[in-house]
Chains A and B, each alone.
Chain A
Amino acid sequence: MAAPDTLAGRLDRAFSNNRVWIRLAAAIVLFNGLFPAVWILLTSLKTDAELSSLPVTYLPADPTLQNYFTAFSEQPLLRYLFNSFVVASASTALAIFVSSLAAYAIARLRVPFRAAVLATLVAVSTFPMITLMVPLFQTMRAFGILNTYLALILPYTVLSLPVCTLVLVSFFAGIPRDLENAAMIDGCTRLGALRKVIVPLAAPGVFTAGLLAFVNAWDEFLLALSLTSSQQMRTVSVGITLYQGEYVFPWPLISAALIVALVPITILIVIFQERVVSGLTAGGVKG
């Protein structure tokens, strides 16, 4: 296989003689995406007083790592990160597993009430969480799992199911049936074909769904505040808010905590980037 089998490949040739365009494109995307993150990073190196100095300063006048030390000493930040990681990974794995099955059934099998199933899934994400909070708390209490990882894993999985399923449906449906059928002729069962053909071919979709589910869980706040209320079980999204006071919002300290909380997601993106690119080649289907 010579060139990436995609639009990228197509544009590659169009632009190959003009790196300026590429650089400009990169600059736009980088600025748009990174400016606030860089701002947070710079803020985490400032002192509180510097934020109220005029004129506005961009680079820290006297960079300090103190905020990071304080962030780790004031709250068990590592514990929060660990909790978030457990909850987000488990709910992502569960959501991907469950939604792959459902998406396969919807995209490929002639199940009845397909539209109703999709509508129900979409409906799940249309209620404002605040109005479901109390009954959800009661549900988790009835299961006896308040203050356990499960209390968050279950609802996070459910919250990610709609978007994961719909993304996967749209990807699965785009995969030619020939490949699947060929696999089945070679002796695969339907589920075997799902695992060995469909999911790998839909890799960009699966990874996207996984990333969506992971970050959804990583950032969720409202449920985490009430369903895991003991300090040992707190997740990082709630943990970050614990640095503030009734009135005081210590931006430098909170920025440091935010940066720390963004690190795992950054690593995840960098690692999965490779996987997504390899998925990209597979996505070209004909190889």
Chain B
Amino acid sequence: MTTRDIPRDETDAAVPAGLRPLPVDDAIERRFKRRTLGDMDERTLGLILLIPVAVLLGLVVVYPVGKLLWTSLHTVRLSEPWLGRPFVGLLNYRDALADPRFRDATINTVLYTLITVPGALIVGLGLALLANLPFRTRWPVRLALLLPWALPLVFAGLIFRWFFDSTYGVVNDVIARLGFDPPLWLTEPSLAFAAICIAIIWKTSSFMALVLLAGLQTIPRSLYEAAKVDGAGPFQVFRRVTLPLLKPAIVVALIFRTITAIQNFDIPYAMTRGGPGRTTETLAMYIHATTLDFLDFGYGSALAVLMFLVSMAATAWYLKHIYGTQA
């Protein structure tokens, strides 16, 4: 098939789609409406198809999330039972906003997010493009792509702690063999931060690559041919064909990568426990300590709700900026 007779729908497929109602979709929808089920039926069918999700969410998460919200409005501090469990309104939230440790942990979390999300996107995109090359035997490359992600987070953290160990670590061994002075990675705050970022990017670029690779695989060849006919070079093809078509996959990957970055816990916990001092502590680590160790469920819940708000704001931002400007 040549470029000329690509049917209209195939180019429609190329429009970044998915996370918003597509005007194009609606147009097609109207075009075919008489041939498909009626409008009401479609709505009903759609709602029916959403029932299983609703049931599962209802069974499993509605109570826990409701309980979390309820707890965040109460004092529930098991180590001080004489306080009772009074309703305190937004007191826990106000405490959080005045809490320097919350502030520092939030700043750290935001820094990790700002560095590791774009970092993982760039590395992940690179890996996905490389892995999509025509290797004769594909599985070793695919395996290499996926293993970092399959390794449980906490072990990824522990193994990177070992790699960055000043005395027994591979990183310093290589640095020393190259004739440089090996630094104390996990003792110096900025180096510890860098080491943690490297570990996170390594671990999560794999997830990115996986989602992006799947996206790459659905890009029709004809579009590349079209671009070639128009005389586009490889970089232009990437910019004008690959990137726009990959956008839906990139957005999905970015949303979840950002949410997990905001929940960043296992890797810094395994590598530094928040040290030196508290310089690498994240919000999730503070929540962990508050609930599990200090048994202050009220305050911990409020922190969790604040974290939820940050995550939702980030998600909304993605959707607005990536799709908003496009429409």
Contact = CB atoms under 8 A, between A and B. Distances in A.
B52 A211 contact: no
Contact of A284 (B7, B20, B168, B220): B220
Q: Interface majority SS on A: helix, strand, loop or mixed?
A: helix
A25 B133 contact: yes
A237 B153 CA distance: 11
Contacts of B152: 219, 221, 237, 240
Interface residues of B, number: 123
Given A29-B131, A131-B68, A162-B256, 18 more contacts: A5-B220, A10-B228, A28-B130, A33-B144, A107-B18, A110-B42, A130-B284, A131-B287, A131-B304, A138-B63, A154-B59, A163-B256, A166-B252, A170-B18, A177-B29, A204-B214, A208-B214, A270-B143
A105 to B, nearest CB: 4
A14 B308 contact: no
Contact of B291 (A130, A185, A207, A276): A130
Nearest to A264: B150
B210 A211 contact: yes
A177 B9 contact: yes
Q: Interface majority SS on B: helix, strand, loop or mixed?
A: helix
Interface of A: 3-12, 14-15, 22, 25-26, 28-34, 36-37, 39-40, 51-52, 54-56, 58, 97-99, 101-102, 104-112, 114-115, 117-128, 130-132, 134-136, 138-139, 143, 154-155, 157-158, 161-163, 165-167, 169-179, 181, 184-185, 190, 202, 204-205, 207-208, 211-212, 215, 218-219, 221, 237, 240, 249, 251, 254, 258, 262, 265-266, 269-270, 273, 276-277, 279-280, 283-286
A97 to B, nearest CB: 8
Interface of B: 1, 7, 9-10, 12-14, 17-22, 25-26, 28-29, 32, 35-37, 39, 42-43, 45-47, 49-50, 52-53, 56-57, 59-61, 63-65, 67-68, 127, 129-135, 138-156, 158-160, 162-163, 167-170, 173, 202, 206-207, 210-211, 213-222, 224, 228, 234, 237, 242, 245, 248-249, 251-252, 255-256, 259, 262-263, 265, 284, 287-288, 291-292, 297, 300-301, 304, 307-308, 311-312, 315
Nearest to A19: B136
B134 A12 contact: yes
B73 to A, nearest CB: 14
Contacts of B311: 122-123, 126
A166 B19 contact: yes
A181 B32 contact: yes
